[in-house]
Every structure is written in structure tokens, then in C-alpha cells.
Amino acid sequence: MALWLEIIVSVFLVIGGVFGIVGSFGLVKLRDSMQRLHAPTKATTLGVGGVLIASMIYFGAIKGTLSFHELLITLFLFLTAPITANFIAKSFMARNMKPTDLPDTTRPYGWSVYDDPPGDTEMQEDARLED
Amino acid sequence: MLKRLIPHPLVSLMLLIVWLGLVNKVTLGNVILGGFLGLVVPAITAPYWPNRPKVGRPLVAAEYVLIVLWDIIVANVQVALIILFKPNKAIQSKWVTVPLELTSPEAITVLAGTITLTPGTVTAALSADGGALLVHCLHAEDEVAVRDEIKSRYEGRLKEIFQ
């Protein structure tokens, strides 16, 4: 295994590790849940990204087998990370915040955590009229 | 006839690629099996896809992916610096309302995902009528600048791609 390849793989591993540890440190250091939510979204992007790039280079250049698994891991992370973050944020808002703590929607309707979508209220009113 | 056989060509292609990635080996047998899955799965799930979004401009879409990847790298470094070197008292977290011009649910989903993936901003909620996004910024001095950057950098391109 060539030395320069080893160095490139190591550099990516170190980059991934550094961002992973900064993300974990952020979890400890930051003050409230909404701020802490920013730390894991970072660890999944560059932290895992660095390790995956290192893995692809290692298997591609050194073992001589092209590996697609890393691309799939990236794809699945990019699909799941925002949804998880969104759900954590929503449950935090529902439990710990009031609609008055948040900025205005600039729309006639409030945020979906506190308000029903327009169609639903109309349907409820229709149901009430039918009763 | 072709439309009934392949109701959603992009999903079929995606399934084939994901299948080949999962088995991690491109052989004729795997391609045939992946192609079979790509034909059967969309056909079975077609009733759950009432609207089929059209991805109109593949080149703009490719450019969008590259821009987002670059932004993820830049913003990662920025947020790492904030976490490591800014004292907690100096971090100004803010809520930002981003009014949307996008209407298709798929485009809004992609925009919300992009905002969360670029570190420093997390999409927290959608307004009840789907017309605005609530974004939480880890550190922002000017919420208008954040809103304008999201709108010009991401939403403008998504509008071209999806509409």
C-alpha cells in the first residue's frame, strides 16, 4: 500500500473524527435543546462524510474493489437526519414553548405544531354543521 | 402502455441503483433483479403516488446538489468554530420565518432538508397552511440576511427544478 494513499486516507479519517468530536462537544457545551440540535446535524454530515470518503478511497484504490455502500449510507443519512431533527424540534416546541415565543408566520395561519391545517378546520366545521 | 408499465421512471431508476448498491456488485443477474424490482415496486405502490412531481431541469438539479455539498463543508467549519471558540453568552440563537414561494410538497421537503443539512440552521416547523418555514439559527446577527440567503440560494433554484 503506497504511502501517499495511506496519508490521504488518514487525513480524511482525522477530518471525520475531528468533526465528530466537535459535534459531541457541542452537545455538552450548548445551553438548550434547540441549540444542541445543531451538533448532531453536523456530525452526520462532515463527520460521517470524512469516514465514508476515506473508506471509498481505501477500498477503491488499495483493495481494488469499487464500493457503493458508502454512497448509499450518505443517501440514507441525508434522508433520515433532517426528519429526525424536525421531529425533535417539533416535540421540543410542543412541550416547552408557547406560540407567542416564536416569530409570526406572516400568513393567516399559525405554525403547524399549534394550529390545524386550513382543510381540517373546515372539515371540522362541516361536521359540526351536520350534527 | 409504456406509461402504465413504468408509472414512475425516476423511482424505477433509483430502485435499480439502490439495489445494485446494496449487493455492491454489478453483474447481469443483479441488473435483471434490480430492474425487476424497479418495475414491480412502483407498479404496486402507484396508488400512493397521486401526484408525480416532474424534475424539469436535470442540469440545475446537479448544480443544486454541488452547491449544497459545498455549503455543508463551509458551514460545518463555521459552526465548529462557533462551538469551540465562542463563549455561550455570545451565541445569539434566533428563530427565522422563511415565507415560501414553492408550492409542491416535494420541493418544500427538499428545501427543509437542505436547511437542516447545512449546519447552523435547522428547520423546526411548517406553517399550518404550508406557506412558511420556521428555521432555528444557532448563531445569526441578522435574521433578514439568513432568510434572504435561503431564498436566493436554495429556493430560487428549487423553483426552477420543480416548476
Give chain B's domain count: 2
Q: Which residue from B146, B139, B98, B80 is spatially nearest to A42, judged by alpha carbons?
A: B80
B76 in the same domain as B43: no
Return the number of other C-beta atoms located less than 10 Å from residue A23's C-beta.
Answer: 25
Q: A2-6, B139-143, B154-158 — which is least confidently predicted?
A: B139-143
CA–CA distances in Å: residue B8 to residues A78, B16, B35: 22, 13, 13
Q: Give me the residue from B76, B93, B123 closest to A45, CB to CB.
A: B76
Residues 68..97 of A with a Cβ closer than 8 Å to B: which?
68-69, 71-72, 75, 78-79, 81-83, 85-86, 89-90, 93
Q: Are residues A67 and A46 in the same domain?
A: yes
Quick one: pLDDT at residue A12? 92
Q: What is the pLDDT of residues B87-112, one digit of tens each?
A: 888 888 888 888 888 888 888 888 88
Strand B94-99 relative to strand B121-126, pairing = unpaired
pLDDT in tens, B136-145: 888 887 878 8
Q: Which residues of B touch A (CB under 8 A)?
A: 18, 20-22, 24, 72-73, 76, 79-80, 83-84, 88, 91, 93, 95-97, 99, 112-113, 115-117, 119-120, 122-132, 134, 136, 138
Whether A88 and A126 share a structural domain:
no
User: By CB neighbour count within 10 A (0-12 exposed, 13-18 middle, 19+ buried), where does A93 fall?
Assistant: buried
- B1, pLDDT greater than 60: no
Predicted confidence band at B73 (pLDDT cuts at 50, 70, 90)?
confident
Residues B9, B72 within the same domain: no
Please write the tens of the pLDDT for every residue from B2-57: 666 666 777 888 888 888 888 877 788 888 988 888 888 888 887 777 666 666 67
Q: What is the pLDDT of residue A125?
A: 55
Q: Sorting pLDDT into bands at 50, 70 and 90, what band is A11? A: very high
Residues of B in contact with A22 (CB under 8 A): 80, 83-84
Would the CB atoms of B128 and A35 count as touching at under 8 Å? no
Cα distance between residue B125 and residue A117, in whole Å: 13
Q: Is the pLDDT of residue B78 over 90?
A: no
Q: Are residues A67 and A83 in the same domain?
A: yes
Higher-pLDDT residue of A130, A109: A109
* The three three-digit cell numbers of residue B50, written as one number: 397521486
Same domain, yes or no: A54 and A81: yes
Same domain, B86 and B154: yes
Q: Is residue B37 part of a domain?
A: yes
Residues A14 and A46 in one domain: yes
Tell whether B13 is covered by a domain: yes
Taking one residue from A and the other from B, the number of pairs with CB-CB distance under 8 angstroms is 137
Same domain assignment for residues B82 and B132: yes
Same-domain pairing of B145 and B96 = yes
Query: H or E stretch including A110?
Result: none
Q: Are residues A27 and A49 in the same domain?
A: yes
Q: Give chain A's domain count.
A: 2
Nearest to A111 by CA among B158, B139, B153, B123: B123
Q: What pLDDT is attached to residue A30? A: 83
Cβ B31 vs Cβ B16: under 8 Å: yes
Q: Are residues B68 and B41 in the same domain?
A: no
Of B48, B67, B82, the domain-final residue: B48
Q: Note the ipTM here.
A: 0.77
Q: Which domain holds residue A131?
A: 103-131
pLDDT, residue B54, reads 67
Dig out the grid coordinates for A49 from the structure.
Answer: 462524510
CB neighbour list of residue B115: distance below 8 Å, 6 or more residues apart: A82, B98, B121, B122, B123, B133, B135, B150, B154
For residue B64, is it within any domain?
yes
Q: Are B123 and A82 in contact (CB under 8 A)?
A: yes
Q: Is residue A65 domain-shared with residue A125, that is, in the same domain?
A: no
- Please give the pLDDT value at position A121: 53
Question: What average pLDDT is seen over chain A?
Answer: 80
**pTM (2 decimals)?**
0.81
Residue B120 sits in which domain range?
58-162
Q: Answer whether A61's CB lies under 8 Å from A12's CB.
A: no
A109 chain-B contacts, CB cut-off 8 A: 127-129, 131
Grid-cell match 431508476, residue found: B13
Same domain, yes or no: B19 and B87: no
Say if residue A93 is in the same domain as residue A48.
Answer: yes
Q: B127 phi and psi, to 5 degrees?
A: -70, 155
Highest mean pLDDT among A6-10, A79-83, B72-76: A6-10
* DSSP secondary structure letters along chain B: -HHHH-S-HHHHHHHHHHHHHHHT---HHHHHHHHHHHHHHHHHHGGG--S------HHHHHHHHHHHHHHHHHHHHHHHHHHHHS-GGG---EEEEEE----SHHHHHHHHHHHHHSTTEEEEEEBTTSSEEEEEESS-S-HHHHHHHIIIIIIHHHHHHH-
Q: Chain A window 1-60: which residues touch B at a Cβ cutoff of 8 Å?
A: 18-19, 22, 25-26, 29-32, 34-35, 37-39, 41-42, 45-46, 49
Residue B53 included in any domain: no
A82 and A116 both lie in a single domain: no
